[in-house]
Amino acid sequence: MRNSMVKRYAIVMLIGVALNLGLYQIAHIFHLPAWIDNIGTAYAALILEPSAGLLVAFATNFYQAAFVYNSSSIVYYAVSASAALSIGILMRKQGKVAWTRLFLSLLCYLAVSSLLSTILTLWRTAGVPDSAWEHHFYDLALTAGLPNWLSCLFGIAVLKFSDSVVMGVLLPILFHLTPKLLKNEQIEQIVSWKNPYFHKREELP
Query: Taking 70 as the threshold, does the pLDDT of residue 195 lie above it?
Result: no
| Model pTM score | 0.88
The pLDDT of residue 200 is above 90: no
pLDDT in tens, 134-193: 999 999 999 999 999 999 999 999 999 999 999 999 999 999 999 988 886 555 444 443
**3-class DSSP assignment, residue 147:** coil
Measured torsion, CA atoms of residues 76, 81, 83, 84, in degrees rounded to the nearest 10: 160
State phi, psi for 92 to the nearest 5 degrees: -110, 140
Type of residue numbered 140? L
Beta strand 96-98 with 189-190 is parallel
Q: Phi first, then psi: what are they for 189, rounded to 5°? A: -90, 140
Quick check: 87 and 42 in contact, CB under 8 A?
yes
Under the banding of pLDDT at 50, 70 and 90, the label for residue 130 is confident
3 state DSSP class of 82: helix
DSSP state at residue 67: H
191: which residues sit within 8 A by CB, 6+ positions away?
99, 198, 199, 200, 201, 202
pLDDT score of 53 = 97
* Stretch 36-62: mean pLDDT: 97
Alpha-carbon span 88 to 91, nearest angstrom: 6
| pLDDT value of residue 187 | 54
Distance CA 111, CA 90 (A): 14
Q: Which long-range contacts (CB under 8 A, 24 or more apart) does 144-148 make?
A: none
